[in-house]
Amino acid sequence: MKIAIVDYGAGNLPSVERALAKLGADTERAVDPEQLWSAKAIVLPGVGHFGAFVEGLRERDLTSSLRAAFDLGKPILGICLGLQAMFAASEEAPGEPGLEFFPEEVRALPTDVKSPHIGWNRLRRMCKSKLLRGIPDDAYFYFAHSYAAPASAQFTVAACDHGFPFAAVIERDHLAAVQFHPEKSGETGAQVLRNFVESVQ
């Protein structure tokens, strides 16, 4: 069985695809719900605007399938905007519902720090993490975002600070999400993806 990479019509899909292929993972681009059903795991990558993202999912009839896959316990990895889409809502697109795996709202980074938060930053580990296994505590990860979920969100296992403490890694049973870009975070990022791929073998 393959790992389905959700293709919602924009975003950084090729780089995620390439990074997974380098690890020997068998992937396919998922554009319809059928492919999500038959996949052994789902990767939800994303860059850009929260509103366009959730709309893109809805147009392709992927929203309800992702919710169903979540309910059935299929492993899902969200990346960057893919993490944000797992929340109930975002200040970036008021009134647009997210996937609602988590009840909190994604917030804009405050104006007293440089935004977007672009560059390499470190994490603050809060509890044991499957995704971060084998990665040193002081490792850097590449971030590029203007919105973030508060670190107080349930199931946050590692946080980062930029304006406010935000959720950098979230893990809940079969669900995992990262605010940074593992596909752009050098060897450290590759290890995160490797940990995910191995966990769904």
Partner 1 sequence: MMLARRIIPCLDVDAGRVVKGIEFEGLRDMGNPADLAARYNCEGADELVMLDISATFEGRATFLETIRRVAEQLNIPLTAGGGIRTMEDGRAVLRAGADKVTVNTAAVKRPELLSELAQQFGAQAVVLSIDVKRKGNSWEPYTRGGRDATGMDATEWAAESVSRGAGEILLTSIDRDGTCSGFDCELTAKIASTVAVPVIASGGASTFEDFRAVFTDGRADAALAASIFHTATHSIGALKKFLAERGVPVRLSR
Using the rule CB under 8 A, give the single segment among 13-21, 60-68, 94-102, 148-156 that binds partner 1: 13-21
In order, the DSSP letters of 107-144 are EEPPTTS-SSEEEEEE-EE-S--STTTT--TT-EEEEE
Of the residues 17, 92, 171, 183, only one is catalytic, namely 183
What residues from 161 to 200 belong to the interface with partner 1 (CB under 8 A)?
A: 161-162, 181, 183-190
Residue from 74, 107, 145, 194 that binds partner 1 (CB under 8 A)?
A: 145
Contact 18, 190 (CB under 8 A): no
| Residue with smaller CB distance to partner 1, 173 or 187 | 187
What residues from 60 to 99 belong to the interface with partner 1 (CB under 8 A)?
A: none
Residue from 33, 37, 48, 150 that binds partner 1 (CB under 8 A)?
A: 48
CA distances from 145 to 22, 40, 53, 59, 116 (A): 25, 29, 14, 24, 5
Contacts of residue 187, defined as CB under 8 A and 6 or more positions apart, other chains included, come to none
- Alpha-carbon Rg for the chain in angstroms: 15
Of the residues 80, 92, 145, 162, only one is catalytic, namely 80
Compute the least distance from the CB of residue 195 to partner 1, in Å. Answer: 16
Q: Which helix (H) or strand (E) holds 6?
A: strand 3-6
| Residue with smaller CB distance to partner 1, 71 or 187 | 187
Region of 113 on the Ramachandran plot (φ > 0 left; ψ -120 to 50 alpha; else beta)? beta
Q: Is 49 a catalytic residue?
A: no
- Judged by CB under 8 A, does residue 27 bind partner 1? no
Question: Can you tell me the distance from the alpha carbon of 170 to that of 75, in angstroms, rounded to the nearest whole number?
Answer: 13
Structure tokens at 43: 């990767």
Q: Is 80 a catalytic residue?
A: yes
Question: Can you tell me the distance from the alpha carbon of 189 to that of 183, in angstroms, rounded to the nearest whole number?
Answer: 6
- Judged by CB under 8 A, does residue 155 bind partner 1? no
| Residue with smaller CB distance to partner 1, 73 or 136 | 136
Chain positions contacting partner 1, by CB under 8 A = 10, 12, 14-15, 18-19, 47-49, 111, 113-124, 136, 139-140, 142, 144-146, 160-162, 181, 183-190
- Which residues are known catalytic residues? 80, 181, 183
